[in-house]
Amino acid sequence: MKIIQKTPEKIIFVEEAKESLANAIRRSALEIPILAVDEVEFSKNDSVLYDEVIALRMGLLPLKTPKDMNLREECTCKNEGCSKCSVQLKLVAKGPGIIYAKDLNGKAEAVYEDMPIVSLIEEQEIELVATARLGKGIEHTKFSPGIFFYRNVAEIEIGKGCEKCADCAKACPQGILKLEKNKIEVTDKYKCDLCEACVEVCRKDGESEIKISPGKELIFTIESFGQIKADEILARAVDVLIDNLKELK
């Protein structure tokens, strides 16, 4: 595995793997339990937004996922809801002003405290109780831990008949081709997204001096929504896939 970029929020790496395996890992990331608001009960809402709109916004707020929580279907409460499988968040606010995720009170913390929920003008009020629970992305996208995608690493061949005009370098939107000592060089093939803009510029009589094809290596990108780190999404997705394969025995 070759790491291209790694931060808590994002990881990009290159690995030689079959696309079927890569896709299986990608889909397994949707089975990682993530905490999200699932129910909202309003006792007052004077804002211009309908209850349903605010409830939708609440569901999309990334919440820090505690490690000691259970899925409702696996909890001892038998899916009725208890402190072991659900968390309540209360919101009592009065305008004027913008109400943010940090204004929620409860045991679950918002990943991004300054995410706006609703704007209130003077004398407008909002009161609600939201119930958050663990869920999986295969059930609803609000339970997704992040974005997981991959593509083939490009294999770029520059023919000997290249006139070194550098038109291909100018055409490349990623800027990965450059004229170096009267020779076209590839600076970073991992940035190539196979658009073939350079191929079309260099095409003469139906043939091109530049050939681009999908390679055996895949470049993976994982971007976390903040509930768990990007590298943890990868590790837990692999664990989920292994557990699912064990059920086939």
pLDDT in tens, 214-228: 999 999 999 999 999
Q: Encoding tokens for residue 68?
A: 């000691």
The answer to whether residues 24 and 37 belong to one domain is no
List pLDDT tens digits, range 181-211: 778 889 999 999 989 888 888 887 677 888 8
Residue 144 is predicted with a pLDDT of 96
Domain-embedded: residue 247 = no
The answer to whether residues 138 and 154 belong to one domain is no
The answer to whether residues 212 and 130 belong to one domain is no
- Whole-structure pTM value: 0.87
Domain-embedded: residue 231 = no
Q: Encoding tokens for residue 107?
A: 């045991």
The answer to whether residues 113 and 14 belong to one domain is no
Residue 249 is predicted with a pLDDT of 66
- Distance of alpha carbon 200 from alpha carbon 176, whole angstroms: 16
* Number of domains, the chain: 2
Residue 159 is predicted with a pLDDT of 82
- Distance of alpha carbon 120 from alpha carbon 122, whole angstroms: 7
Domain limits for position 53? 33-142
Residue 106 is predicted with a pLDDT of 92
Last residue of a domain, one of 142, 167, 195: 142
- Distance of alpha carbon 155 from alpha carbon 98, whole angstroms: 51
Domain-embedded: residue 235 = no
Domain-embedded: residue 93 = yes
The answer to whether residues 179 and 99 belong to one domain is no
Domain-embedded: residue 18 = yes
Residue 224 is predicted with a pLDDT of 97
Cα-Cα-Cα-Cα dihedral sign, residues 171, 174, 176, 180:
positive
Per-residue pLDDT of the chain (249 residues; tens, 9 = 90+): 899 999 999 999 999 999 999 999 999 999 999 999 999 999 999 999 999 999 999 999 999 987 788 898 888 888 788 888 899 999 999 999 999 999 999 989 999 999 999 999 999 999 999 999 999 999 999 999 999 999 999 999 888 777 767 888 888 999 888 888 778 889 999 999 989 888 888 887 677 888 889 999 999 999 999 999 999 999 999 999 999 998 876
The answer to whether residues 15 and 55 belong to one domain is no
Instruction: Please return the burial class of 122, using the count of CB atoms within 10 Å of its CB with bins 0-12, 13-18 and 19+.
Output: exposed
Task: Assign residue 61 the CATH number of its domain.
Answer: 2.170.120.12
Domain-embedded: residue 228 = no
The interaxial angle of helices 230-246 and 19-28, nearest 10 deg, is 100
List pLDDT tens digits, range 149-169: 999 999 998 887 777 678 888
